[in-house]
Structure 1
Amino acid sequence: MDAPSAANRNSRKAKRAEPNDPTATARSTRPAPTGSRAPRPNAKTQQIIQRVFNGTGGSLSSRIASGISGGAKAFKSTRPVNAPNTMTLQVQGLKSSKAASNEGGGLKELLTFLERKAQVVSKTARNIRIKKSSINGDFVYITASKEDAEEILKLNGFAFAGTSLNITEAPGDLPPASDNNMSSTALEVKDALRNVLSLRYDSGAKLLNLSSLGEDAGLNQMGFFSGESKPEKLFRALMAVCDGLFKTAQEKRAAVASVSLAGNSIDDVLQIMSLTETFPDLVNLDLSRNHFKDLKGLQKWRYRLRKLETLLLNENPIEAANPNYAAELTNWFPRLQNLSGIQVRTPEQVAAMEAAARPTPIPQHGADFRDINGVGEGFIKEFVSMYDVDRQNLAAKYYDNESTFSIAVINSSPHPQNNQPPGWGAYIKFSRNHNKITHTSTRIQRLFVGTNLIQSAWQQLPPTRHPDLLAEFNKYIIDCHPIHGLPDPSGASPVGVDGMIITMHGEFEDQEPGTIKTAKRSFSRTFLLGPGAPGRNPIRVISDMLSVRAFNPPPGSTPEPTVQPPNADLQQQMVIELCNRTGMTPEYSKFCLDGANWNFDQALVMFNEKRAQLPADAFVTTSQ
């Protein structure tokens, strides 16, 4: 908000300007108190304003719609802590720092330090932003989004201006906002600003009219028309007071849909940036009769006010300087329909754009298997069977010293509610899930390169049994596509060679280490196949990425019915019968039946498959 220049400041500008500069002459002779220029507070009042918007946060029982009334006592209620999606932190150390002697007690310097340092420490590209702050006694209370607050908490113990900061989450019952520490004059100013907002609010239209602030009688009486401080601080104070009127974002949306800032000589939205923080869901905004001359003055709002439908920029220099500004602003604000009185979109167009932007499921048309001379089919058939029974020779045949293998455990995937997912202890130490493993060194360590490392990793993974690929093909979804430009292992083709990419989705059963209990899991596996090196197998696996997750039937398949275990008496009979047939102890017989879901025939099959791997104590000792 570019407020009118005071006479003394204008005179200095006139002295620096060229003698024949008519613009400088006009600005130097313009009287400050008149006109629609935004007010500049004097030094004393400016200090009070600083305390006003740094000390906001008192929750009010009243709303703008019923007027902003009552004295200072009405605003000494306890502040809400950690509203939805926000977190309030308690920072100690400002008073003992060297910055405490700065103007405003060093609060601005502390907030800047916390925002910038948290962004550096978190290594994030987004800006860390503190939404609210206040000083109470030895503590500074700051409010930010939960995501940003968690990053700021990492600065606990960091040095700031010669002292160590102690940053913790604020207790649930914060003391009242800093009204307790404000002077009577400051309270009067704060109350007067509330009264200004009350007089400028139209509850029927949900309009907050902040136009022509320089002509406001209340602000004139308060002396906001001199001094060298920045004019946007007055607007920040108004927004801070206004922000304290509401406990939730929904209350803001219900009370204020439109704001007018017409006739305030604003030339850059940076001067009124706090508007988008206080009312981010604004629907209608009037910026007419200001000094916007180009899009640069509006640039900082490009990704804000995403629900704005009406924007008035009438009687701004930009209309003549850039006649094509409307097309750019229409792209900036996705719901904009009315720009300076001209319809730029219809409600139907807005609805169609929003519908097109919503994520939609990828259409499922079954597997897309585009094989080349049966290579893909032959590889899949051999791989599935050999992986279950002979992993060492499988790796030796299809993998070479440049082949890579990785596994990712997806332990948060959806699964049927009646099935408790098994544990991941045997897999987790190999998992390379990038959502969990963020350190580069660990990611490199868990990428297995070369036949020997791949064989070693496979040997440590639990034994598996996949459904028969031909008899139970409905339990798989397999896609195969040709791919071009792969590295030629022979080096003969500089443009690369052809290969294929195969993606499998399916299920398998594995065996927990140390027991014979089995668990069913879902998996996805992606292979990148290419020609083998001269003298080796004609097909090689360039890359093999496996992800495992809790069992969930693939789309289009029919889940197996849940088999209810027999009653206790029948279970006991089955255990005795299995002991007689296998020679196992009752304990291991029960393990075997439990792993087969109490299917006696399947338990016998499992016993015959795993008999050689069972320890000696699994069998009943025959007395001599």
Structure 2
Amino acid sequence: MAPTGPRNQAPSSRRAPGVGKTQRGGIAKRRAGGPVRVDRDGDLDMDGPAGANGKKPANHPAANGSARAKKPATASTRAPKPTTKTQQIINKVITSGDSNISSRISNGMAASSRPNRGARQINAPNSMTLKVEGLKSSRAVNNEGGGLKELLTFLERKAQTVGKITRPVRIKKSHVNGDFVYITASKEDAEEILKLNNFSWAGTTLSISETSESIPAAGQAAMSSDALEIKEQLRNILSLRYDVETKFLNLSTLGEDPGLQSMGFFSSETGPDKMVKMFRALMAICDGIFKTPKDRREQVVSVSLAGNNIDDVLQIMALSDTFPELVNLDLSRNQFKDLKGLQKWRHRLRNIQTLLLNENPIEITNPTYKVELMSWFPKLQNLSGSQVRTPEQVAAEEAASRPTPIPQNGPDFRDIGGIGEGFIKEFMRMYDIDRHALAAKYYDDQSTFSVSVNNRAPHPPDVQPPTWSAYIKFSRNHAMITHQRYQRLFTGTNLIQGIWQKLPPTSHPDLATQIDKYMIDCHPISGLADLTGREPNGASGMIITIHGEFDDQDPDTMKTAKRSFSRTLILGPGVPDRNPIRVISDMLTLKAYNPLQPVQSLQPSDQEVQKQQMVLELSKQTGMTPEYSKLCLEGVHWNFEQALVAFNEKKAQLPSDAFAMPLA
């Protein structure tokens, strides 16, 4: 369904949406009475006075419901019959036209559609752009493609003949814009084409000249006079329905708007599709008035669509595209009969705080609709005049929805006989100075090594991420690196020595003097494969995880960079006649440098422990919930005796939910 013309009924007054008293219904539009203020570009002046007398309107979605709305008065309850001229203009603009506004009306282009690209560059180096007039008046205009191909072929062939040159003349680009064809060619070819000025072709005389004016891209041709007239009329209608002081756009009862009636939008032949296009045209005008997302967010806080006979938000989907951060919305006195009509906004308008659906059939057919809408709109506080959340509840739910970081408890080092400590000290030193010997000592034919580049890891804003060219082709992070997948799990001493030789040389901080640059965990594990076969249940070993930083030098560019790393090593018993410790698995992860943060102790202080015990004791003695017990103690500055006195004084005034169980 769509907005309809006025009905034979008395106008009604309704309260505006807000956060105060129960409010219902539509919202009055700003009174007209003075000239429409526009800026230098002809756009609506949103910084001008709110109305003809400069006063704040009587009602607004955030006005606490203190004012009454009035429907715009009309001279007659019957829609005026549109003139023939106006009807022709509307039909022409809606059904055809190259302008942005008219194409959005006719094609139903939503406000969120990708905008057309800007003007093309004119006369780039070694090229020239020419403007050719005559195609539209030629006999070839009725050919397939509008005759453009025939015109370009003529210009290329004739220019070569007239110039008496042996090389071919080529037109690089062509673009039809209104009555003109814009062509781009090299300067040499363009000079030959200019010689064809005033030549006859296909029954017309061609006019060719060089141009330096901006050329609109396809779909951005200059507006026709008809489209400009429609645009200006819609702009004037919106100017009367917008209040700059309250940031309120009143689009209620559009079917009774005299301006839209006189334009013929509500004639007897009006269909729902045409109504939808009319609303999209209004949103297209809003896009032109409020040019940036910031303007739309800050200058339009509340919108009323009351009394428009709408039964599905699909008919007004452009509203959520143009004003996605709307705060207050009035949909009262429409025809929404179930949640299906609102379903398409389930993941939109996430900032809505006030939503009015009063006097819609859904109030009777689905009385529990409020519960579902609360889950759709997380910031909703006022629904059809009833408070469904408090600002504090909204803030708490928003905080609870944010992911909680894994707490960092500091290093956990559970070594056995100093094996882990000795290995780490030797490993970090040898990796910097002699990787070949390190691999030969601790790695065997079953050992594996991999390196993974995390090029999207967070880092301080003042840290410039380094390049990864020396590591990227060996990276095993297929979620980040998807091109040229080589062998990236290296098994055996020889392959590991080979890849280590290709990786940049490194310099790690000294473990003995700069232990604060590292965070190291060490844990014993069991069930590892036993190469000797002596342990049927698996051998015991260790897993060591090292987080830290190092400096490296790109072997090709000789540039140095600081990086953060995480390295996980699994150690197991060595095979007989070799080193008693072997590296079973070695996984190295690299990321942009991000200093290790000081570990915060998660253990509560003695004072916090004492407060927790006082809360539990007060709850035990009074029967109050821990939350109310804490509030009571905070009110007396954590004086337990005074908290008991305060409880006994105000016990009768406490709500029932203050107690863990009902009082006897």
TM-score (norm 1): 0.55
What are the Cα deviations for residues 592-618 of structure 1, in whole angstroms up to 9, with x where unaligned? xxxxxxxxxxxxxxxxxxxxxxxxxxx
* Aligned match of 1:218: 259
The one-letter amino acid of 2:241's match is R
Cα separation, partners in 2 of 1:198 and 1:368, compared to 1, 3 Å: same
The CA distance in 2 between the partners of 1:251 and 1:480, in whole Å, is 55
Alignment of 1:194 with 2:235, yes or no, is yes
Cα separation, partners in 2 of 1:411 and 1:238, compared to 1, 3 Å: closer
- Work out which of the residue numbers 565, 568, 575 in structure 2 matches 1:527: 568
Cα separation, partners in 2 of 1:434 and 1:284, compared to 1, 3 Å: same
* Aligned match of 1:315: 359
The CA distance in 1 between the partners of 2:213 and 2:444, in whole Å, is 59
Q: CA deviation at 1:138?
A: 9.6
The one-letter amino acid of 1:545's match is L
The one-letter amino acid of 1:2's match is A
Alignment of 1:112-511 (within 5 A): 137=178, 180-184=222-226, 186-224=227-265, 225=267, 226-228=269-271, 230=273, 231-356=275-400, 364-371=408-415, 376-396=420-440, 397-398=442-443, 400-401=445-446, 403-408=448-453, 426-427=470-471, 430-431=474-475, 437-439=481-483, 441-442=484-485, 444-480=486-522, 501-510=543-552
SS in 2 for 1:244: helix
Cα separation, partners in 2 of 1:426 and 1:319, compared to 1, 3 Å: same
Which range moves more in the overlay, 527-536 or 448-457?
A: 527-536
Q: CA deviation at 1:298?
A: 1.8
The CA distance in 1 between the partners of 2:118 and 2:546, in whole Å, is 48
Q: CA deviation at 1:239?
A: 0.8
In 2, are the aligned partners of 1:46 and 1:229 still within 8 Å (CA)?
no
Q: What runs of 5+ residues in structure 2 fail to find an aligned partner?
A: 6-75, 103-113, 122-135, 147-175, 181-211, 600-664
Q: CA deviation at 1:342?
A: 1.0
In 2, are the aligned partners of 1:406 and 1:448 still within 8 Å (CA)?
no
The one-letter amino acid of 2:240's match is L
In 1, are the aligned partners of 2:572 and 2:583 still within 8 Å (CA)?
yes
In 1, are the aligned partners of 2:475 and 2:488 still within 8 Å (CA)?
yes
The one-letter amino acid of 1:295's match is L
Cα separation, partners in 2 of 1:479 and 1:298, compared to 1, 3 Å: farther
Q: What runs of 5+ residues in structure 1 fail to find an aligned partner?
A: 6-32, 58-84, 102-134, 140-170, 558-624
The one-letter amino acid of 1:321's match is T
Alignment of 1:88 with 2:129, yes or no, is no
What are the Cα deviations for residues 416-447 of structure 1, in whole angstroms up to 9, with x where unaligned? 97x999886654554556686332x43x4445
In 2, are the aligned partners of 1:293 and 1:316 still within 8 Å (CA)?
yes
The one-letter amino acid of 2:253's match is S
SS in 2 for 1:223: coil
The CA distance in 2 between the partners of 1:315 and 1:520, in whole Å, is 66
The CA distance in 2 between the partners of 1:292 and 1:422, in whole Å, is 56
The one-letter amino acid of 1:476's match is Y
* Aligned match of 1:608: none
The CA distance in 1 between the partners of 2:90 and 2:433, in whole Å, is 83
Q: Which has the higher helix share?
A: 1
The one-letter amino acid of 1:221's match is S
In 1, are the aligned partners of 2:120 and 2:216 still within 8 Å (CA)?
no
What are the Cα deviations for residues 31-86 of structure 1, in whole angstroms up to 9, with x where unaligned? xx9899xx9x98973552466896249xxxxxxxxxxxxxxxxxxxxxxxxxxx98
- Work out which of the residue numbers 44, 48, 54 in structure 1 matches 2:93: 48
Q: CA deviation at 1:274?
A: 0.6
What are the Cα deviations for residues 567-607 of structure 1, in whole angstroms up to 9, with x where unaligned? xxxxxxxxxxxxxxxxxxxxxxxxxxxxxxxxxxxxxxxxx
* Aligned match of 1:564: none
Alignment of 1:497-576 (within 5 A): 501-510=543-552, 513=555, 521-527=562-568, 529=570, 540-547=583-590, 549=592, 554-556=596-598
Which range moves more in the overlay, 248-257 or 368-377?
A: 368-377
* Aligned match of 2:48: none
The CA distance in 1 between the partners of 2:465 and 2:270, in whole Å, is 68
Q: CA deviation at 1:540?
A: 4.0
Which range moves more in the overlay, 334-343 or 344-353?
A: 344-353
Which range moves more in the overlay, 214-223 or 383-392?
A: 383-392
The CA distance in 2 between the partners of 1:492 and 1:303, in whole Å, is 61
SS in 2 for 1:208: strand
In 2, are the aligned partners of 1:480 and 1:501 still within 8 Å (CA)?
yes
SS in 1 for 2:117: strand
TM-score (norm 2): 0.52
The one-letter amino acid of 1:199's match is L
Q: CA deviation at 1:235?
A: 0.7
Cα separation, partners in 2 of 1:501 and 1:289, compared to 1, 3 Å: farther
Q: CA deviation at 1:137?
A: 4.4
Q: CA deviation at 1:286?
A: 0.7
Cα separation, partners in 2 of 1:490 and 1:274, compared to 1, 3 Å: farther
Cα separation, partners in 2 of 1:424 and 1:213, compared to 1, 3 Å: closer
SS in 1 for 2:332: coil
Q: Compare CA radii of gyration and give the structure with the larger one.
A: 2
Aligned residues, how many?
428
Cα separation, partners in 2 of 1:235 and 1:490, compared to 1, 3 Å: farther
Cα separation, partners in 2 of 1:259 and 1:438, compared to 1, 3 Å: same
